[in-house]
Amino acid sequence: MNPESLARSLAQHPFCKDLTQGQNEFLAGCAKNARYEAGEYLVREGSLAESLFLVRAGSVAIESHIPGKGAVKVDTLAPGDILGWSVLLPPFRWHLDARALEPTLVFALDANCLRGKVQADHGFGYAFTLRLLAAASERLTHARLQQLDVYKAELG
């Protein structure tokens, strides 16, 4: 996919849709398409956060390892979701595992490239960081609501 069509495709993703055409073209310089088969890991806990992922199709399980219990799914990502604010936060390591539940297509944004662009263009960096914070806030709200459901069932 050439950079021009990659920028157009990125602009269709909910995370990028409000970026300007120029910002999407700027971001496309860090992006590539990637495909993961069912059961394949996108990232592993503790490993270096080398890419931020924008889910295009399929689904991704976010898992945490519980000693004596193994991997426990804590969330599921769907098309339009993002994975990877760890790429901007030192020490740039993953805190959870992410595994494709079915064939999954993503935009993989190279972490080093992305950090460089965020630092080089403060207008882009601000717009990108605001979207990242909004996604993090949404994910935290979802996690809180899940906890409330668990407590409600326990009190029940």
User: Which CATH number belongs to the domain containing residue 87 in this structure?
Assistant: 2.60.120.10
Q: What is the pLDDT of residues 84-111, one digit of tens each?
A: 989 999 999 999 999 999 999 999 999 9
The number of folded domains in the chain is 1
Give me the residue label for tokens 């069932």: 153
Give CA–CA dist 35/119, Å, rounded: 29
> What tokens were used for 40?
């394949």
Percent of the chain with pLDDT over 90: 76
Q: 59 with 37: CB under 8 angstroms?
A: no
Q: Is residue 9 part of a domain?
A: no
Does residue 21 belong to any structural domain of this protein?
no
Tracing tokens 């992922």 back to the chain, one arrives at 53
Given this model, what pLDDT does residue 66 score?
87
At 148 the pLDDT is: 73
Q: What is the pLDDT of residue 147?
A: 73
* pLDDT tens column, 131-156: 999 998 888 888 777 777 666 666 66
CB distance 62 to 97 below 8 Å = yes
Q: Is residue 10 part of a domain?
A: no
Within a domain: 13: no
pTM for the complete prediction? 0.90
3 falls within a domain: no
Distance CA 120, CA 127 (A): 13
Which residues form the domain of 79? 31-112+119-155
Which of the four pLDDT bands, split at 50, 70 and 90, describes residue 4? low
> Is 126 domain-assigned?
yes
124 falls within a domain? yes
Residue 56 lies in a domain: yes
Taking Cα atoms as reference points, which of 111, 130, 138 lies closest to residue 19?
130
- Can you give the pLDDT at residue 124? 96
Give me the pLDDT at residue 142, please. Answer: 80
Q: Is residue 8 exposed (0-12), middle (13-18) or buried (19+ Cβ within 10 Å)? A: middle
pLDDT in tens, 30-54: 999 999 999 999 999 999 999 999 9
